[in-house]
Amino acid sequence: MRLTVLGCAGSFPGPESACSAYLVEADGFRLLLDFGSGSLSALQRYAGLHAVDAILLSHLHCDHILDAVSYVVVRRYAPEGAYPPIPVYAPSGAPDRLAAAYGQDDVAVSDVYQFYSLQPGTFPIGPFTVTVDRVNHPVETYGVRLEHAGRVLCYSSDTAPCDALLRLAHGADVFLCEASYLDGVDNPPDLHLTGREAGETATKAEVGRLLLTHLVTAWGSEAQTTDAAASTYAGPLEVVRPGSRYEI
C-alpha cells in the first residue's frame, strides 16, 4: 500500500501544512484517513479532487474533519453532475456534526456521505483489513490499523499513551504517530503524546518505522521532538511533510 501525507499539522493549520489527512492506496482503492482543515487543497495537489473511494474520520475534532464539510460542495454541485454517496466511517455523531457545520438540517449531507458508525473491531474497507479501537483522547477517538498484502500501517490518531495504541501498532511496518507535545514541560494528561512517548510506544510495539505527525508548529520544536523520539526508539524515524509518500 502507499501512504501520501496531505496534511500533518496538529490542532490548526501550520504555515506549510494543512491539518491531518492521509491518503492510503492499494489495488487502485483510495482511503482517506481524516479530512482536516485545508487538506482539500492538498488532495487536489497530490492526488485529485475525486481521488477518494472511502473516508475514515478518527474523531470529530475540527482539525480532523472540517474539509469533509467543504467536500460536500465538491460532490453535490460538480458540473458533470452530483457524485454518488461516498462511505464515511466515523464516530456516531458525525452526520449531525458535519450537517451542523455545513449549516443546514441533519439530513443535509446524507446525499453526499453514507455514514457507518465506528466501533472497536475489525472490518473491511475496500482491499484493506481495518482494525480500530478507542484511544486516550477526550472525545470518542479511534486509532487505526490497516493491513493489506501482509503489510501493516498503524495510525495513532490523537491520543495520550494507552494499551489500545500498543495493540494497534504491534508489529506494524509503519507507525504514523502523533507527537503534539514537547517533552520537559507540564502537559495536560490524557490528550496527546510527546516525542519521547511516541518513541516509547514505537519501541514497545516493535514497529519497523516511526513517522511522527500532528506536531504543532507554532508551539513546538521539530528538532526537540525528533531528538526526544530518537532517545526512546532506535529504529528509523522522521517527521512527515505534506506530499511525503511512503511505500509500505
Contact residues toward Zn ion (CB under 5 A) are 61, 63, 158
Q: Which is nearer to Zn ion, 61 or 209 (CB)?
A: 61
Contacts of 167 (CB under 8 A, 6+ apart): 133
| C-alpha triplet 221, 224, 225: angle, nearest 5° | 85
Q: Shortest distance, CB of residue 185 to Zn ion, whole angstroms? A: 18
Closer by beta carbon to Zn ion, 60 or else 108: 60
Closest CB 50 distance from Zn ion, rounded Å: 26
Rounded to a whole number of angstroms, the minimum distance from the CB of residue 36 to Zn ion is 7
Q: Which three cell numbers stand for residue 215?
A: 506536531
Considering beta carbons, is residue 22 or 108 the nearer one to Zn ion? 22
Burial call 77-115: b when 16+ CB within 10 Å, e when fewer: eeeeeeeeebbbbbbeebbebbbebbeeeeebbeebbeb
The three cell numbers locating residue 173: 511496518
Q: Which is nearer to Zn ion, 61 or 75 (CB)?
A: 61
Closer CB to Zn ion, 21 or 152, in the complex: 21
CB 149 within 8 A of CB 26: yes
Shortest gap between Cβ of 60 and Zn ion (angstroms)? Answer: 9
CB of 76 to Zn ion, least distance (A): 27
How many Å is the Cα radius of gyration of the chain?
Answer: 17
Length of the chain measured in residues: 248
